[in-house]
Amino acid sequence: VARLSRAVGMTVWGLCRANKQSRPEFNRLTTVGNLSEFLAGCDYICNVLPSTTETQDLLSGDALSSCKSKSPVFINVGRGGIISEESLLAALENGWLRGAVLDVFKEEPLPVISPLWSHPKVTVTPHISGPSVAENIAEVFVRNYEKYVNKQSLDHVVNWEKGY
């Protein structure tokens, strides 16, 4: 997402758990400790965060009130647990967000009775932001199997301490 956004001329900020060295796909990196300042400067917020104890409900409550001056669009393609449905609806009604494009939800599938389905500022997508293609999965498996047999470091290893 970041590389594509930079390629089309967007200024891209990234939010990290800890200070990191600059990376070419980001104009600026900051930490969760600066969340309010980060949110206040966004025209679009694209959540791609994993689901960890640190990210659960990160944007719930009045966290998005920091957005009120720019009223960005919230795009959620990461994990639904980053924000409660109630908090998202409140942010839309209060004008803290201009709109939302939602591919993931705290409760999945999104219940039929959810007001998000019919909210005029919400676009619901069919959970397709990160499609898996069988051929790609097979290629990764074969590559990792070959690395495993040859006692090499594997690709895409889960860090259990981080939760992803």
The partner residues of 76 in beta bridges, in order of sequence, read: 47, 102
Q: Catalytic residue at 79?
A: yes
Q: Spot the catalytic one: 6, 98, 127, 143.
A: 127
**C-alpha–C-alpha distance, residues 142 and 22, integer Å:** 33
Residue 19 Cα to chain centre, angstroms = 19
Q: Which amino acid is at 2?
A: A
DSSP letters along 113-158, please? T-GGGT-TTEEE--S-SS---HHHHHHHHHHHHHHHHTTPPPSS--
Catalytic-role residue among 3, 79, 98, 119: 79
Catalytic positions = 79, 127
